[in-house]
Amino acid sequence: MDRILAMKTLPTVDCCTPLSGSTLSVEDGIELERLFKALADRNRLRILNVLLEAGGEEVCVCEFQPTLGIAQPTVSHHLKQLVRAGLLEREKRGTFAYYRVTPGVLERIGLLLVPTPVQA
């Protein structure tokens, strides 16, 4: 037995303001994806937090392990990922490496997410 369902056509209602589209270019989206992937780990976020709490001062690699309570090889792995993403800078001094947040990187993330309107 064939059943035919009658479908009632509903009127279209304009309930929302039309979207203006994305201001994020493909290239900027790729850059943000790379940065967010690097930050998508709780240990990396904690490392970034330690560095931000240092107020722009460099922090020795030897300080992260006791502060965060994670193994030194794990600390080194996460620091390498953050440096590779451009979030941190590394300076070697003798046998120790010192890290700091790359100047302007957090502002760059903010500008990529919410670009400043162009002044006419």
- Structural domains of the chain, ranges and CATH numbers in brackets: 26-113 (1.10.10.10)
On whether the CB atoms of residues 116 and 110 are closer than 8 A, the answer is no
Residues written for the chain:
120
Confidence (pLDDT) at 53? 94
Confidence (pLDDT) at 120? 52
The model carries a pTM of 0.76
**pLDDT tens digits along 54-111:** 998 999 999 999 999 999 999 999 999 999 999 999 999 999 999 999 999 989 888 8
Distance from first CA to last CA of the chain, Å, rounded?
Answer: 68
- Measured from the Cβ of residue 71, the count of other Cβ atoms closer than 10 Å reads 10
Confidence (pLDDT) at 111? 86
